[in-house]
Amino acid sequence: MDKILVHGGRRLRGSVRISGSKNSALPILAATLLTKEPCTITRVPDLSDIHYMLTILGELGCEVERASGMVQIRAEHVSTAAPYDIVRKMRASVCVLGPLLGRELEATVSLPGGCVIGDRPIDLHLRGFEALGATVRVAGGNVKVLAPKLRGARISLRSNFGSTVLGTGNVMMAAVLAEGETVIDGAAEEPEVVDLANFLNAMGAKIEGAGSRTITIQGVKELHGANHEVIPDRIEAGTFLVAGAISGDEVALQRIQPEHLRTVTEPLAEAGFEILSNGSQLTIRPGAQRRPLKISTMPYPGFPTDMQAQMCALLASTGGISVVTENVFPNRFMHVAELKRMGADIALQGPTAVITGVPKLSAAPVMASDLRASAALVLAGLQAEGVTEVNRVYHIDRGYESIDEKLNALGAQIERVKA
């Protein structure tokens, strides 16, 4: 098992190319199950979660070829059951349920269970499938969905914690081959949902309203193959913006979509950083003075929960008192205990972290608990005195393509070693 050693105090300068979005690529790869014709997906990031998804597609009978960010998939003959040994490694595996149900009218996938940031049930996915006419059975740790045929319906995906991105995509994929019209109310508005809808439309689907709270789908009889380029990863981009804020003299992000990052750039500007936009490039520079923030995570277009931990790392050494409230996953503060080991002054009050900025963090051995927490600890290490040892970095490899190499190219000193 690898660990990362971060030598603090190095200034960052230069440019970094942002990879394709993990959260877009996973459901898009699953959507290739909807057609027997070949599909080509480009700008697919090299991540462990992507590897697991491609392995699942292979187990389901797909022909998969991969080279240099390009994946070609042909799902001419498919099985309808995804094996537990692979599904258990990645929660997003549930996104094969929708396309298998849409194409074969049945699917069986192991339940993903919870994770360290709390229980993340798929009840909204299943509610959507039932509305389309499927029967849902849960037994032996598996969920099976079965339907004689799928018919369009009006479906609500609203919940107490906001919209479900995976659920919206899953139901959308099932509905594209259903008979008649499907209307999804309370749909997730994230750019990743729009990206999936664009791919499905390129395959011959008829989807309108993606990116809004209401998505309308006119069912078609079949889909065909298509080519598609995955959108830039806005969370990776946001993480590098925060890295530039923490330790940068001037850091430029290339191959991004600035409108997807406004929820991050606006708070950074409020905190005193200079943000320059030029086409598909964003540059962050230090301002005259860093200021504390009050942030509340919300579903898109609110501040993303996937950026909360990284922002905590920045605010830990920002003078004054900052307040961060987690409204999406209230238990998503596992990184706080590790930041406190590095000298951060953070008090948790239910779903809210009150952060009193300290002049400087100090290096310490820390443990990554999840994907975004691991990134936050690396960012904290950039500004800490000494060498920060981040353990369990397999988490970071789930969602960041070569983050250590990219930071080193900007001037950081990071080593990946065997634990």
Same domain, 194 and 65: yes
Q: Crossing angle of helices 191-202/165-175, nearest 10°? A: 20
User: Of the residues 174, 198, 229, which one is the last residue of a structural domain?
Assistant: 229
- The DSSP-derived string for 259-299 is GGGHHHHHHHHHTT-EEEEETTEEEEE--SS----EEEB-S
Q: Which residues contact 119 (CB under 8 A, 6 or more apart)?
A: none
pLDDT at 116 over 50: no
Query: Whole-number mean pLDDT of the chain?
Result: 94
Same domain, 214 and 242: no
The pLDDT of residue 161: 66
The pLDDT of residue 18: 98
Assign 291 a pLDDT band (cuts: 50, 70, 90): very high
Count the neighbouring beta carbons within 10 Å of the beta carbon of residue 276: 12
User: Of the residues 169, 198, 229, which one is the last residue of a structural domain?
Assistant: 229
pLDDT at 88 over 80: no
- CA 224 to CA 215: how far, in whole Å? 21
Same domain, 175 and 254: no
CB contact at 8 A, 404 and 377: no
Same domain, 195 and 273: no
Same domain, 94 and 14: no
The pLDDT of residue 358: 98
Average pLDDT over residues 76-92: 85
Residue 167's domain spans which residues?
22-229
Q: Across the beta sheet with 248-254, what order do the strands follow?
A: 12-17, 248-254, 281-285, 274-278
Same domain, 241 and 221: no
What is the SS3 assignment for 348? strand
Helix (H) or strand (E) holding 29, with range, is: helix 22-31
Marked catalytic residue, from 39, 62, 95, 115:
115
In the chain, the percentage of residues whose pLDDT exceeds 90 is 87
Same domain, 126 and 219: yes
Q: Tell me which residue of 128, 126, 75 sits closest to 103, measured CA to CA.
A: 75
Average pLDDT over residues 36-49: 97
pLDDT at 362 over 60: yes
Assign 17 a pLDDT band (cuts: 50, 70, 90): very high
Number of domains, the chain: 2
Query: By CB neighbour count within 10 A (0-12 exposed, 13-18 middle, 19+ buried), where does 70 fall?
Result: middle
Query: By CB neighbour count within 10 A (0-12 exposed, 13-18 middle, 19+ buried), where does 10 fall?
Result: middle
pLDDT at 132 over 90: yes
pLDDT at 113 over 80: no
Same domain, 155 and 182: yes
- Per residue in 337-352, pLDDT (tens digit) is 999 999 999 999 999 9
Cis peptide before 38 (omega within 30 of 0): no
> Does residue 115 have an active-site annotation?
yes
Same domain, 150 and 246: no
Average pLDDT over residues 236-249: 97
- CA 106 to CA 148: how far, in whole Å? 9
The pLDDT of residue 112: 65
- Per residue in 191-222, pLDDT (tens digit) is 999 999 999 999 999 999 999 999 999 999 99
Q: Which two tokens stand for residue 79?
A: 């099985």
pLDDT at 288 over 60: yes
Read off φ and ψ for residue 326, nearest 5 degrees: -100, 105
pLDDT at 117 over 50: no
CATH number at residue 280: 3.65.10.10
CB contact at 8 A, 194 and 228: no
Tell me the pTM: 0.96
User: Of the residues 229, 253, 280, which one is the last residue of a structural domain?
Assistant: 229
